[in-house]
Every structure is written in structure tokens, then in C-alpha cells.
Amino acid sequence: MYQIIVFGPLLAALIAGLFNRRLGDRGAQFVTCGALIISAILSWMVFLRIGLGGAVDHVTIATWITSGDLSFNWAFKVDTLTAVMLVVVNTISCLVHIYSIGYMAHDPDKPRFMAYLSFFTFAMLMLVTADNFIQLFFGWEGVGLASYLLIGFWYKKPSACAAAIKAFLVNRVGDFGFALGIFTIFMVTGSVEFDTVFAAIPGLQGQQIHFLWMDLDLITTICILLFIGAMGKSAQLGLHTWLPDAMEGPTPVSALIHAATMVTAGVFLVARMSPIFEYSPTALGFVAFIGASTAIFAATIGMAQNDIKRVIAYSTCSQLGYMFFALGVSAYGAAIFHLFTHAFFKALLFLGSGSVIHAMSDEQDMRKMGGLRKKIPATFAMMLVGTLALIGFPGFAGYYSKDMIIESAFAANTSWSDYAFIMGVLAALLTSFYSWRLLFMTFFGESRASKPVQDHIHESSNWMMVPLYGLAIGAAFAGYFFRDIFVGSGYEDFWGHALFLKDEAHNVLEAAEEIPGWVGLSPFIVMLLGFVIAWYAYIFRPDTPARFTGTFRYVYNLFYNKWYVDEIYEFLFVSPAKRLGTFLWKRGDEGIIDRYGPDGAAAAIMDLARRFKAMQSGYVYHYAFAMLIGVAGFVTWFVGGAG
């Protein structure tokens, strides 16, 4: 069963990619969608048996590497955490595949696109089923490769190529830290298999490692290095700059990257490494700080964006911050619960925005939309469901998962958790504001589109709408139906040993049940406040945004220009690297190596050849004179030598 779940998408990708001329567009779509439907169904079966049945499976596929002390197999570790991720990845990917049939209907490269999607899914499945660090890193890098191919799918667009390269390079920064963490783990434990490493961690408490001319706590160093990898994949503050630019890819790519695959890999990594992170309070505090800072940072930027997909992209970045500060306060179940619910409503929002863009003849600027709720009512309804789930409206998925994270941060009662609680509540206010802003600008008021665009506004095909209906069910009900087993009374039985808590003091989910009433109400209150502010600014007094940006233009420009992080990186890293590269190229490569190496030798030979060429006049008497001079010289040398 597990082989079919994992390798089915890979086989479909190979068939669609290599035999697309024989299969045709429909054949490639049928193969890839069929494989994902099968994987999704089997994943739910695994979830029922593993998650609800309390089983754990370990399946060895083959011996992979045996070299000296390094030995491990290609194997699947399937516990509750893996089962949840299988459901998330395959369910969302399945719906995205089906949606792509309608969305990419007019694209000439449909088989290539479907093959890339399936390969992306396979890489993520390899990551979440790994039972050792090398197999996990294989899937980790496979996801990075697939994201590069998908973000740059429209490779004739310079902006798409630039975005793909940016995503690839920024993630290499994080992956470098991740690789150092794996090397350190093998150095101190002699193994890369999870079970062996986790068993060795308690014995490493108090040990130090000499790193970067400093003596550092060993476990903390390992955790920070692993978390740097998670920061890159999950676009946390400092390594987040690639995520909004990933919007250059087709909308189904955005939904798959942001909802189910690449960006959730970092959250999964930290949750899987809970037996290591639990022994380093410093590392947990750092994770909570970065997560909380990312949540508020990305939310401020989302308020000022006008591209409908970029607003949702920064929302993803912010929601990932929630997941990470939940991990940082040891609320691992709450983090994965939000990952689970977020997958449904964020995929719904992205695919819903794709339906809007499709209806608007590929227009993405919300300032050129408006009044769409009457023309595409089904899409409006789906976007409304996704928005209610995102802002945490009572009864919808986000209400149960995001509120639990905020309550857990308060219950943890540490300096970093208090900071996370405050930032989480403020981010909830901003999330409500920019979510309603998106709805009001897109679907309410008078249309601001051009007459030709208005004449062609239409509801999307069933290929696009049916997946939205499926995601809407998850966005509406996933929180209610799964709350008890993820973070409620069935928490311990459900997760078993998949998530590790060092001691009872780290059980913040239990402590969250005894928080004051105002803490539980705070997310709801700020959610309503965000709605009121957005309604006032964009419905009741639509001149408010213009007046605000005029009065507080420096604040607006700061948010609109993404806190100028890209410009700072351009100044600190990109421009110096370009100047250094140009210097080494012009002065080093061309000025020294080429000048005195290949080019210099070639020039000397050519000069010598020109001189010899000048001697070849073609006149016999010139050659006779040269021969005479030569004979005279030879005789002189011979006679002089004999004497």
C-alpha cells in the first residue's frame, strides 16, 4: 500500500513526461489525476488505521547505503504524524490536479505541467515518510527542484525565471544549515536513522561543541541548524523573500506550494524532531520568537498588497508563523492541527483566486476588480468560506486550530510565549482586516474593470469548481470534526509517540484548558474589529484608504514595499556579489588568466606566425640569398669551431 501511495505519483510523472506525445493532453491528465486519486484514497485508509487505530508501521524498501560506519535503508516510517501529512499532501494535490485540467485548458504544455505537479507530490511524500535524515534530505531537495520547475513553468517570462532562481537560491541558504545539522548529528551519534538518533539525544545533554570559534551547547546547535533549514522551506523571517515571488507560477502551483507541500515541510521537520528540540529550551524559544515575528511581519505586508495572489501569499507566511510559535511553546499537536486545517482553506483561497483571475481575463490587481459577487456567485461563496476559516470565525476550521495556538502560547507562561501570544493576537486583527479587504475590493462595490474585461466575466468550469466545493467542506468542518483527536481529550491516544514531550511541564495543551476567559475571547474580538475597520474603509467610507495613505505615506510605503527587505538584501548581498563577480571576471579571468594563459599563448603564436609569414615572399632570389647567408654562417661556425 505504501509503495503505491508514494511511488504512484512518480510513475505517473514519468509516464506523462516521457510519453506525452503518445498519450496526448487528456491521456497525461488522466494518468496523473488517476494516480493521485488512488494515493489520496489510500492515504485516508492509512489515516484511519494508523491515526485512529494506534498502529505504527515501518516498511523497508531496500538497502540504500553501506559505507564504513554509515549504514541505512530506504524505508518508510508511518506513524500518526506521517499519516496526517499523507492525507494533507495527497488530498490537496489530488484536488489541485483536477483543478489544473480546467485552469490550464488553453496552455500548450499541459503534459509537462501535470508531470511536474506529480513529481512535486512524490518528493513531498518521500520527505514525510522518511525514517532517516538522508532520505528526508532527498525529499527535501526534490521539493526544491520541483518548486524551481513549477515556479518557472512559463520560462519565456523573465519574471518567472527570476522568481524560480530566487526561490532556489534562498532555499539553498536554509539547506546549508540543514546539511550542517545532519553532519553534526552523524558526528555525535554515529547514525542518521531517526530512532537511533532520538534514543541518543538524552545522553548528549550538557555536552558542548566547538563551532565558529565558540563553545556552544551541542543539542541547541543541532536544533538551530535544523531550524535554519525549516526557515528556508517555510519562508520564515529572513528567508521569506522567495515566497511572494513564487506567485509567478500558475495558480495551481501556488495552491500546492502554499497549502500542502513545500512550505509545510519546515513545520513537519520541527515536529518530527520534537525528541531533539524538547531538550533545548533555548532552541524552542528561538523558534517561538521567529514564528511570532513572522506572523506579525507578514500580516503587515499583506494589508498593503494589491495583487490578489500576493495578499494570500503573505497570509500563508503569517499563518506559518503561527505554526512555528506553536512548535516553540511545545504545542506540537496544535501546530500540526493548524497545518491540517490551513491546507484546506488556504488551497481554497488560492484556487478561488485562480477562478477570479480566470474570470477577469488573467487580471490579478484588486484595484481593477469589484462587483464580482453577482457575476461569479459560486466563486464568491467559496472565497467567503475560505475567508471565514482563515480569520477564525466560530465554527469554521481556523477557529479551532488558530485559537488553540494563541491559547497555548498564553498557557506556556514563558517570556517568549508571552511575546508570541501578543503577536498572535495582533496578527489575528491584521489577518481579519486584509482578508475582508480582499473580499470587499474584489466582490463588492462597482466594477473597476475595463469594458472588454467586464463583457467576458464568467463562472469557471466544473473542472475548477468541483475541487473548490471539496476544499470548502474541509475549510468549514475539518476543525470541528478533528479537534478532539488533534488537541482535545483524545490527544495522547491519537499522537502516541509521534510527538514527544519531555515532561508534563511542556504539556501546554492541557494547561490551555484552564486559561482565563478573556484569553479565549481575544481572537474573536480582534477578528470582529478587523472586519469593522475593513467595512468602514472599503464599503462605508471608500475614500478612507486614499486619505490614510496620504497622511501616513511612510508607514504605507514601508508595508507596501515589504519593509524594504529585498532592497536591503540587494545592497548587502546581491550588489556586492555582482561587483565581486564582475571584478573576478574582468580583472582575474580576462585580465590575468586569459591574457597570460590561453589568450596570451595564442597571441604569441599568432605573432610568431605573422613574422614567419613575412619571410615567405615567393621570390627565388630571396630564398637563394637566405640559403647563402645560412651556408656562410654554417661554414663560419664550423671553421671557427675546428680552429
d(C-alpha 87, C-alpha 107), whole Å? 29
In 488-564, alpha helices (H) = 491-495, 508-511, 517-535, 544-551, 553-560
**What does residue 516 show for φ and ψ, rounded to 5 degrees?**
-60, 155
Residue with cell 501535470: 114
Percentage of residues of the chain with pLDDT beyond 90? 64
The span from the CA of 496 to the CA of 302, in Å, is 38
pLDDT of residue 599: 72
pLDDT at residue 642 in the model: 56
User: Crossing angle for the helix pair 251-259 and 308-328, nearest 10 degrees?
Assistant: 10
Contacts of 142 (CB under 8 A, 6+ apart): 119, 122, 123, 126, 127
**Mean pLDDT computed over every residue of the chain:** 90
Helix (H) or strand (E) holding 180: helix 158-189
Q: Can you say whether residue 392 is alpha, beta or left, with left for phi > 0 and alpha for psi between -120 and 50 degrees? A: left
| Contact by Cβ (8 Å): 150, 116 | yes
Q: In the chain, how many H helices and how many E strands?
A: 30, 4
What was the pLDDT predicted at 625? 80
What is residue 635's predicted lDDT score, i.e. its pLDDT? 83
**Whole-number Å distance between alpha carbons of 506 and 491:** 14
Specify the 3-state DSSP secondary structure of 460: coil
| CA pair distance 121, 155, nearest whole angstrom | 21
pLDDT given for residue 496 in this prediction: 85
Kindly report, residue by residue over 538-592, the tens digit of the pLDDT.
999 998 988 988 888 999 999 999 999 999 999 999 899 888 888 888 787 777 8
Looking at the whole model, is its pTM more than 0.85? Answer: yes
Indicate if the pLDDT at residue 435 is higher than 90.
Answer: yes
Least confident range of 10-24, 97-111, 234-248, 581-595 = 581-595
pLDDT digits (tens, 9 = 90+) for 311-357: 999 999 999 999 999 999 999 999 999 999 999 999 999 999 999 99
Rounded to the nearest 5°, which phi and psi values hold at 238? Answer: 105, -40
Q: Scan for cell 484595484, then name that residue.
A: 367
Please tell me the distance from the alpha carbon of residue 30 to that of residue 110, in angstroms, as a whole number. 12
Cell numbers that stand for 383 in this block: 472565497
The continuous run of DSSP H or E covering 260 comes out as none
CA distance 172 to 270: 18
Helical packing angle, 265-272 and 133-151, nearest 10°: 170
Distance CA 34, CA 31 (A): 5
Highest-confidence segment of 66-70, 190-194, 448-452, 631-635: 190-194
Alpha-carbon Rg of the chain, whole angstroms?
30
Question: What percent of the chain has pLDDT above 70?
Answer: 99
Best CA proximity match to 358, nearest among 474, 448, 463 = 463
Range with lowest mean pLDDT among 61-75, 278-292, 436-450, 590-604 = 590-604
Q: What average pLDDT score do residues 84-94 get?
A: 94
Provide the residue type at 594 as one letter.
Answer: D
| pLDDT band per the 50, 70, 90 thresholds, residue 433 | very high
pLDDT of residue 641 exceeding 70: no
* SS3 at position 87: helix
Q: Which residues pair with 193 in a beta bridge?
A: 132
Q: Does the structure show a pLDDT above 90 at 637?
A: no
Name the least confident of 90-94, 342-346, 595-599.
595-599
Show the cell assigned to 336.
Answer: 500540526
Helix (H/G/I), strand (E/B), else coil: 573: helix
Taking residue 446's Cβ as centre, other Cβ atoms within 10 Å add up to 8
**pLDDT score at 643:** 53
Q: Does 168 score more than 60 pLDDT?
A: yes
Please give the pLDDT value at position 386.
95
pLDDT tens sequence across 382-424: 999 999 999 999 999 999 999 999 999 999 988 899 999 999 9
pLDDT: which is higher, 586 or 98: 98
Look up cell 565558540; give the residue. 214
